[in-house]
Amino acid sequence: MDSDDDFVASEDDSGNESNTGEDEDGLNVALIDSEPTGSSHVDGNDRMEIEEEFPYEILTTEQIVQHMIDCIKEVNTVVQLPPTITRILLNHFKWDKEKLYERYYDGDRKMLFSEAHIIDPSETTSQKEIKKYLHNGMENCVICCRDLPTSMLTSLACGHRFCRDCWVNYLTTKIMEEGMGNKISCAAHGCDILVDDQTVMTLITEPKVKLKYQHLITNSFVECNRLLRWCPKPECSHAVKVQYVDFQPIKCDCGTVFCFLCGENWHQPVKCDLLKKWRKKCDDDSETSNWIAANTKECPRCNVTIEKDGGCNHMVCKNQNCKTDFCWVCLGPWEPHGSSWYSCNRYDEDEAKAARDAQEKSRAALQRYLFYCNRYMNHMQSLKFENKLYASIKEKMEEMQQHNMSWIEVQFLKKAVDVLCQCRQTLMYTYVFAYYLLKTNQSIIFEDNQRDLESATEKLSEYLERDITQDNIVDIKQRVQDKYRYCESRRRVLLQHVQEGYDKDLWEYTVKLDKV
């Protein structure tokens, strides 16, 4: 991110870098590889056999800026406004040019400009309206209260004039301290007219501030634009540009594979909304409260939460202000129980039954969650260990090459670990999917697929972790190859089945989902 020199405000000299096609390193246009090498090369894109490719481009920061300039130019050929105004307008419409055209040509243009906090360019330049505080040929800046030559003061289209020094200070504070880019308004009190790029770029001279401003503008361009998304890897400064929004994996030039819709790691088969619910469930302490519900009861009188720490069912609340006596089983007062516990005749009363039912239910829900969560976590944990496996496999590959095997002959090992990782990742997310799935015929098929994939994956993992030695290498190579091909095909079958379910609307969930 070190040279964003081509920028909106200086767009005239930016014609030296084209946005598509002729990238110097050839890496920037990364269409997902969709050659019909087909079934045996599943490369993060499992749907390619059944559906068309999903085209996208990975853009560098410079290319993003160029893309922004191109968008502005394109709109400008139609609306014929100054480019800086076009940028503010486009930003207002979240870079949806169709919406902009619609409002610009069909709606009330005055209203449009005022909503976007711009002065209508057709009605400005009436210099006489601008209020100047003149004192014997000098003009007063109301911020610093100095009398200065008129040429030292400047204003936006709204006409609120301040001296250059004050403008520079104001903009620098907004940009550097408050991290504002496209939402900086005029420095005058109560004026909401937005500062345009041209003004910022001519007033600000310090490179650090300019750069920060450019980053802020670029960032808002990507964040607002529905066809763009930053690569989620923290140190990566690439963004992806798609042609239409879809649930698809994106492979960034930095190697990160993420979901275009939500920016998380690619998480097929489970969709973004369910994954988000799952993450929230895992993150917040809703499960703590589930545990409390399953393992504790409330004092029937003061409602303090109690955990039973002995065998006796005669409870005495330890809350000093309460000290009520009650029965742990039925939560009724202890008195009628008398001396003999087994005559607890309140046991079958409706109220006590309801309380127990609620407790049973919550306990069952907790068990169910833990079941899925354990398996999810387990695959996640294994996936982390597989990174170590890459290292040990690499050693093995080098060792084999020293023992009369060629480079190409040992590549199957790396491929096997790749497949193993893919399968683990898929399996991990199948448990999220399964957790929210209602039992149907289809869900049973899904679980069968899941079981097959899981057992094959575990076998593959075992082969790779221990069984390879010098002596059995030829035999094991065959077995490993067979196994990873089998894993690949099982994985594909599982994902296709889930996709089919999505397409035909076969899945039913235990939770309500917002319609996307």
Partner 1 sequence: MAEPVPGISAIPDESNARYFHVVVAGPEGSPFEGGVFKLELFLPEEYPMSAPKVRFMTKIYHPNIDKLGRICLDILKDKWSPALQIRTVLLSIQALLSAPNPDDPLANDVAEQWKINEGEAIKTAREWTRLYAMSG
Binding site for partner 1 (CB under 8 A): 142-144, 160, 162, 166, 169-170, 172-173, 177, 187-191
Distance in angstroms (rounded) separating the CA atoms of residues 89 and 395:
57
208, 211, 215, 218 alpha-carbon torsion, rounded to 10° = 160
224 is known as an active-site residue: no
Q: Where are the alpha helices (DSSP H) in 21-131?
A: 61-79, 83-92, 97-106, 109-115
User: Which residue's CB is nearer to partner 1, number 167 or number 278?
Assistant: 167
User: Which residue's CB is nearer to partner 1, number 191 or number 377?
Assistant: 191
The C-alpha angle 513, 422, 460, rounded to 5 degrees, equals: 130
User: Which residue's CB is nearer to partner 1, number 23 or number 147?
Assistant: 147
User: Which residue's CB is nearer to partner 1, number 189 or number 466?
Assistant: 189
Going by C-alpha positions, the residue among 163, 148, 166, 154 that lies closest to residue 130 is: 154
Distance in Å, CB of 145 to partner 1, minimum? 9
Distance in Å, CB of 19 to partner 1, minimum? 37
Q: Which two tokens stand for residue 148?
A: 């200065």
Token pair 């767009």 is at which residue? 11
Distance in Å, CB of 115 to partner 1, minimum? 19
Q: In sequence order, what E strands does 267-337 have?
A: 297-298, 305-306, 314-316, 325-327
Distance in angstroms (rounded) separating the CA atoms of residues 411 and 403:
15
**H or E element, residue 139:** strand 138-140
- Burial grade of 338 (CB within 10 A; 0-12, 13-18, 19 or more): exposed
Distance in Å, CB of 6 to partner 1, minimum? 30
- Burial grade of 343 (CB within 10 A; 0-12, 13-18, 19 or more): exposed
Measured CA to CA in angstroms, residue 46 lies from 74, 250, 378 at distances of 36, 13, 24
Measured in whole angstroms, how far is the alpha carbon of residue 288 from the centre of its chain? Answer: 26
Distance in angstroms (rounded) separating the CA atoms of residues 171 and 270:
45
User: Which residue's CB is nearer to partner 1, number 178 or number 246?
Assistant: 178
Q: Which two tokens stand for residue 323?
A: 């000290």
Q: Which of 144, 254, 302, 312 is catalytic?
A: 312
User: Which residue's CB is nearer to partner 1, number 67 or number 160?
Assistant: 160
Distance in Å, CB of 143 to partner 1, minimum? 5
Distance in Å, CB of 185 to partner 1, minimum? 9
Distance in Å, CB of 507 to partner 1, minimum? 45
User: Which residue's CB is nearer to partner 1, number 144 or number 254?
Assistant: 144
Q: Which residues of 368-405 are buried (b: 16+ CB within 10 A; e: fewer)?
A: ebeebbebbeebeebbeebeebeeebeebbeebeeeee
List the catalytic residues.
Answer: 312
